[in-house]
Amino acid sequence: MGPSGCGKTTVVLSVLGLLPPTAAVTAGSIQFLGQDLLNLNEKIFRKIRGREIGVVFQEPGASLNPVMKIGSQLCEGMRWHLKISRKEARERALDLLEETGIQDPASCLEAYPHQLSGGMQQRVLIASAVACRPRLLICDEPTSALDMIVQTRVLDLLKRLQKKMDLSILLISHDLLAIERIASRIETMA
């Protein structure tokens, strides 16, 4: 946790190997499953990102492709990482949407992001992030754009998924209440 501007999102981008070309990690290491992520080539990193490490960024509307239906976005990663058929991916997507609290999963699959509320978009992103059953779920300010009621629901969902899927969650936030709801250990950045 830490205040705005202290580098929380930069840490996330470093872990994911997504720093812009003008930035670099110049010292230390990022250890995950016995590997230093800083020493991986992009081809290997692509296999880890989305499969072993899922991520939920803070602006759900900006994280979803506005011209692709939700179903296509959810199924694409599963088909690539898990090597499953379209039918299997669709069935899994329906289950994930239901599990994340989407009332009508079949309609949601056919919707475009702008047709969903912010809370529903965030649930879709969470479903997408856990679709391949990663070991680590990184959530970068997952509730910042949501009202208090939806924030509580999203945090409860994360806690439920954490237990059910035996997930480690790295929650990035400046909201102490959100962190207390999820965290077993807290690190502070200044």
Q: Specify burial of residue 105 (Cβ count, 10 A radius: 0-12, 13-18, 19+).
A: buried
* 31 falls within a domain: yes
Residue 59, domain member (yes or no): yes
d(CA 138, CA 129): 9
| Ordered DSSP codes for 97-114 | HHHTT-S-HHHHHHS-GG
End-to-end CA distance of the chain: 9
Across 143-152, 159-168, 176-185, least confident range? 143-152
What is the pLDDT, as a whole number, of residue 78? 95
pLDDT at 146 (0 to 100): 79
Half-sphere exposure of 130 (CA within 13 A, CB side): 25
**Mind listing the pLDDT tens digit for each residue in 46-60?**
889 989 999 998 888
Q: Does residue 62 lie within any of the structural domains?
A: yes
In which band, very low, low, confident or very high, does the pLDDT at 180 lie, cut at 50, 70 and 90? Answer: confident
Q: What is the CATH number of the domain that holds 120?
A: 3.40.50.300
Domain presence at residue 188: no
* Domain encompassing residue 151: 8-182
Residue 97, in any domain of the structure: yes
**Total count of domains within the chain:** 1
pTM: 0.90
Q: b/e per residue, 118-142, with b = 16+ CB within 10 A? A: ebbbbbbbbbbbbbbebebbbbbbb
Contacting residues for 18 by C-beta, under 8 A, at least 6 apart: none
Which pLDDT score, from 0 to 100, does residue 52 have?
95
pLDDT tens, position by position, 65-96: 999 999 999 999 999 999 999 999 999 999 99
- Alpha-carbon span 156 to 162, nearest angstrom: 10
User: Is there a domain that residue 28 lies in?
Assistant: yes
Q: At what angle do helices 70-82 and 86-99 cross, to 10 degrees?
A: 120
- Across the beta sheet with 53-56, the strand order is 53-56, 136-140, 168-172
Rounded CA-CA distance 146/115 in Å is: 16
User: What is the mean predicted confidence (pLDDT) over 168-183?
Assistant: 88
Q: Tell me, yes or no, whether 178 lies in a domain.
A: yes
pLDDT exceeds 90 at position 106: yes
Alpha carbon distance 23, 69 (integer Å): 33
Check whether 145 has a pLDDT greater than 80.
Answer: no
What local confidence, expressed as pLDDT, does residue 3 receive?
Answer: 87
